[in-house]
Structure 1
Amino acid sequence: MNDIDVLVVGAGPSGSTAAKLLGEAGVRALVLEKAEVFPREKPCGGGLSARMLTRFPYVKDVLAEIGTNPIRRVYLESPDGTGVTWEQDDPIMYLIRRWEFDAALFRRAQAVAQVELGVTVRALRVLPDGVEVEATDGRTFRAKMVIGCDSANSVIARHSGLRVGDIRSEYAVDMMEETPVARLQAARPDTVSLFLTLTKTFGYGYIFPKTDHCNLGFGCKLNYYLEELRGRGKEHHAAWVEEMKQKGFVTGETQKDSYKAFPIPVGGPLAKTYTGRVLLAGDAGGFVNAFTAEGIFYAMSSGALAAEAAIAAIQAGDFSEGQLKSYERVWKAEIGGDLEHSVDIQRRLFNDSGRIDQIVRAAARDQDLLRLLIGYSMGAVRYEELRNYMAASALPKWVMSKITSVFRFGSKGTAATSGV
């Protein structure tokens, strides 16, 4: 078709990771990115779980290039105000500013792959001998296949037919600001504070202290946002900041110009993340933990696995659906369990504030449960480890029966008869 093997649409963590691996493997990749320059603004909490450095060792060098706050202390508060704190010697997560982190990943991709900035994609066509992507300025780009890494509102996902239906129940909205510490400060710059604020719907608040900025936000389901907060998001956020000030978690003033709202897919990976000549990674494929809203680790993991599947397709000269199905097998093996369980837990846990209260109160009495609960929330503990501990816990059975019901799943994420 032309001299491009793979189009990578989007240069965020998933796209840059995919492009880096493709370029290093000698694949002719072209990255299409709507931003006209890097660094570019990117609203996000900016929390990296410590496992990132194990999965992607080069991220250690990335963190050395940018402002990074290693976090060893986590505060968790339930809807009834019960608070617990976990502290450990090694970092449990790293707080970064996304515009810096993404730019560092992009530099690595740009070193080995072609890049076109300022390209906003509006259409995808899958042809018998390749794919064609059309930009809003009329340009077209052709290749043998495409990896869609173009955010929660992915054009590639929709035009390939992989995302269909109503998204209201599958998305959350994060309302946040990232403000210089000269204006807004966390009372404990060494602590991530998480507030499970559920009253009528899925909701959470957070304070992420960066090296020179304070990131503070509140998230809720998209359907609740549209029904209750549409047009009032900025005012709701300001009220949330004021509440945090009154409780002593922050000082200073909200900076209204820093307010941003953005969608997060929390319905789990799409039912299908591949089709002929098309793969989806990152938010485009729904690769976000539905319980913690963590996305960067899963974006990079899915981007890496998509690149490996594309390399295999090029080597085989086969871009069919049957060939690309291997992508879904490998991501399910590596991160599928995490994501599947996160959806189940979110749906059970965030429909009942009493369940959250019971879990946090139980953790306040049991340090091992607290360690596992915080570790699971930060991506440092596997679901199975938390579930097995809860099943064998010495806490009173009536307490454990209440909270274990949230984590009571079989091997495929369905309710188990025998037994975030």
Structure 2
Amino acid sequence: MSKYDVIVVGGGPGGSLAAKIASENGLKTVIFERGRMPGDKSSSGCGLAPRIFRDFDFMKKMDIPSLKIKYQSLHMLDDNLEERFMMQWSTSDLGEYTEAREYFQVDVYRRDFDRFLAGLASESGAELRTGTLIDNVLKDPQGRVTGVITDKGEKVEGDVTIAADGAVSLIAYKAGLRNKWRPDEITLVVDCDFQAPRKRIDEIMGPEEYCNEVYVSPLYPATYVAMMPEGFHVGLGQWIGRFASGYGERPYEYLRRVINSKPLKRFIDRLQAKPREFHAHLLPWMPRFPTKTYGGGIMLVGDAAGFACPLEAEGIHYAMVSGKIAAEVAGEAISSGDTSAEGLKLYEERWKNSIIGEEFSAAKEWAELWAGIFFDPKQWSIITPLANNIMFWASWSNPHIKNLQRQISKYKENAPFLLEFVKSYIYPLLRKSNFPLFRSLLKLGWMWFRAKKRKGIELIAEG
């Protein structure tokens, strides 16, 4: 029977980084990857946050096809799938470090990125075993995980097992850390990968103007268009609980509707793009702090732990951060001779005190914002016309003061919706961010409107 200090299950970003650090710290480490090679994923592309390049020096060695995304845009469509409003923005000078000021993210293919990280792990001394599925764990009489069992029945012992086997973590289940995700903790994401000539992408978007986009409409949940080195992805998702309860339509029908909309069809035609692959995968989207991320002899990292951002479900950075923390805690626990749950408790303490815990401190508020707005198509039947009217005052249709009166009248008509929007989604986030001034102003504004002290607005609206 093989024996290791650290067993890593899953050759994705979290698993490979955990193996790299464990090996660099002198621990005998093995990675088990079920694919033929790391990066053989159902979802072929991803975005790397600028903080990945800030936090991990080895990222400077990355030499794989990529696109630096410097712009983002939001497109609002009506129920005829006609575009009514669009806004675009670039990176901000508020970025605290160089990378954050230069780009929003770096888009790459997982096949390239995962193999890059797995290669670094191998160079550090970790053993990489591909084409091997781990379908069970070994336990001692006290329930501590002492190793894993492959689908071929091979038993492999290890002092610490790091589960980086994705959202549907068989290891988490077999170790007794989790049963199924709750319906409001996991999303189903579908996307279509399009292939487009890189030359054509550069001609249309320019090598310095790569832009990722979000499309919203009363007819489907928010849809992303993410540019890739050889094309782009069009995708959308929704919480499993909503699909299971009959909310809306099947995800494929939503996606088909998006792709066939006029704005997307124009975009696809301009880039001379062709559909290449259809993907469907599960993605954690937690409205609360993840629980049970460790036990005796085992720690969960990345999607297996539920560490996807509660605002937009970005998970690569958190997988790498949690993989690093897990490897460091494993080394300390092995050195002290205590790999029990008590010995690995430090893992949870550290990730809660890291950037992961900081992000999840507002998990409820971020998730509710996304659920109530971007995952709720009916909201856009009101939001889109309001956004479309933002600049109506500048129209040449009538004297500008008359346009302004009509505009204010329209917003007055929708005041209950706007106030509920602020109360439900904006105020909770500002309150969480602990800005007393904003809290006070919002509270005063809410009291003012509730008391119907709007005579000045009514006079203007009435002309």
TM surpasses 0.5: yes
Task: Name the stretch that deviates more: 139-148 or 253-262.
Answer: 253-262
Q: Which runs of 5+ in 2 are unaligned?
A: 79-83, 92-100, 392-417, 444-463
Alignment of 1:282-297 (within 5 A): 282-297=302-317
Aligned residue for 1:84?
87
Distance 2:113 2:196 in 1: 19
Aligned residue for 2:5?
5
Alpha-carbon deviation of 1:177? 2.1
Map Cα deviations across residues 228-252 of structure 1 (whole Å, 9 max, x no partner). 5999554542322112645744326
Distance 2:423 2:4 in 1: 56
Distance 1:84 1:231 in 2: 28
Distance 1:405 1:14 in 2: 35
Distance 1:254 1:191 in 2: 16
Matched, 1:57 2:78: no
Secondary structure class of the residue paired with 2:258: helix
Task: Name the stretch that deviates more: 121-130 or 315-324.
Answer: 121-130
Sort the Cα spacing of 1:299 and 1:130 in 2 relative to 1 into closer, same or farther, 3 A.
Answer: closer
Contact 1:234 1:256 in 2 (8 A): no
Aligned residue for 1:19?
19
**Out of 125, 135, 139, which is 2:150 matched to?**
135
Matched, 1:262 2:262: no
TM-score by length of 2: 0.73
**Out of 230, 235, 243, which is 2:261 matched to?**
243
Aligned residue for 2:195?
180
Contact 2:352 2:358 in 1 (8 A): yes
Sort the Cα spacing of 1:3 and 1:225 in 2 relative to 1 into closer, same or farther, 3 A.
Answer: same
Alpha-carbon deviation of 1:196? 4.5
Distance 2:31 2:273 in 1: 37
Matched, 1:214 2:232: yes
Give the letter for the 1:123 counterpart: N
Distance 2:245 2:205 in 1: 34
Distance 2:431 2:76 in 1: 23
Contact 2:329 2:344 in 1 (8 A): yes
Alignment of 1:395-410 (within 5 A): 404-410=426-432
Secondary structure class of the residue paired with 2:345: helix
Distance 2:166 2:217 in 1: 26
Contact 1:349 1:406 in 2 (8 A): no
Which has the greater radius of gyration?
Answer: 2
Secondary structure class of the residue paired with 1:279: strand
Sort the Cα spacing of 1:171 and 1:244 in 2 relative to 1 into closer, same or farther, 3 A.
Answer: farther
Distance 2:250 2:423 in 1: 40
Distance 2:76 2:328 in 1: 41
Map Cα deviations across residues 53-103 of structure 1 (whole Å, 9 max, x no partner). 0111211211xx111111111102457654321113611211111111111
Contact 2:427 2:439 in 1 (8 A): no
Give the letter for the 2:74 counterpart: L
Distance 2:90 2:330 in 1: 42
Distance 1:309 1:329 in 2: 10
Distance 2:273 2:265 in 1: 15
Contact 1:173 1:219 in 2 (8 A): yes
Sort the Cα spacing of 1:397 and 1:314 in 2 relative to 1 into closer, same or farther, 3 A.
Answer: same
Secondary structure class of the residue paired with 2:427: helix
Sort the Cα spacing of 1:172 and 1:183 in 2 relative to 1 into closer, same or farther, 3 A.
Answer: farther
**Out of 324, 328, 339, which is 1:308 matched to?**
328
Aligned residue for 1:376?
none
Aligned residue for 1:36?
36
Q: Report % sequence identity.
A: 25
How large is the RMSD of aligned CA atoms in angstroms? 3.5
Contact 2:362 2:432 in 1 (8 A): no
Aligned residue for 2:459?
none
Aligned residue for 1:370?
none
Give the letter for the 1:258 counterpart: E
Task: Name the stretch that deviates more: 70-79 or 224-233.
Answer: 224-233
Distance 1:177 1:184 in 2: 21
Matched, 1:97 2:109: yes
Alpha-carbon deviation of 1:120? 0.8
Q: Which runs of 5+ in 1 are unaligned?
A: 366-395
Matched, 1:323 2:335: no
Contact 1:183 1:255 in 2 (8 A): no
**Out of 272, 292, 315, which is 1:272 matched to?**
292
Matched, 1:114 2:127: yes
Contact 1:68 1:96 in 2 (8 A): yes
Aligned residue for 2:69?
71
Map Cα deviations across residues 5-54 of structure 1 (whole Å, 9 max, x no partner). 11100010000010000011111111111112345244154111111101
Give the letter for the 2:48 counterpart: L
Secondary structure class of the residue paired with 1:260: strand
Contact 1:5 1:143 in 2 (8 A): yes
Distance 1:100 1:258 in 2: 17
Secondary structure class of the residue paired with 2:362: helix
Distance 1:256 1:249 in 2: 13
Aligned residue for 1:339?
360
Aligned residue for 1:48?
48
Alpha-carbon deviation of 1:149? 0.3
Distance 1:357 1:263 in 2: 29
Alignment of 1:145-160 (within 5 A): 145-160=160-175
Contact 1:244 1:250 in 2 (8 A): no
Alpha-carbon deviation of 1:168? 2.3
